[in-house]
A = this chain, B = another copy of it.
Amino acid sequence: MGIISGLNKEFESRVRLGMMSVLMVNDWMDFTEMKNLLQVTDGNLSSHATALEKNGYIEVKKEFVGKRPRTSYKITDSGKKAFQEHLAFLEKMMRQ
């Protein structure tokens, strides 16, 4: 096992690191807020959200607020655990 084996490939992208960081300290966050925080395009945010959802790291809620659709994100327990492990490994690697 190489020294990078504890890093989670799903968190390689800056956008995903950003999303996970934000969701670690916020409850439900909607698409527009997240987009503004990260300054990414709609398509970019959507595709990373889909990937994180597929891995069970975030939950995606789609609802209507009046007539407008709203998409929101929340980190799952498994996402929290995976992200914490990733960060712990990152720290360990950096200290070596």
Contacts and interface: CB of A to CB of B under 8 A. Distances in A.
Interface of A: 1-5, 7, 9, 12-15, 17-18, 21-22, 25, 36-40, 87, 90, 93-94, 96
Contacts of A3: 18, 21-22, 37-38
A39 B90 CA distance: 17
20 contacts: A2-B37, A2-B39, A2-B40, A3-B18, A3-B37, A3-B38, A4-B15, A4-B17, A4-B18, A4-B39, A5-B39, A7-B14, A7-B18, A12-B13, A12-B14, A18-B93, A21-B93, A21-B94, A21-B96, A90-B90
Contact of A39 (B1, B38, B39, B87): B1
| Chain A, interface SS category | helix
A84 B15 CA distance: 20
Nearest to A7: B14
Contacts of A21: 3, 93-94, 96
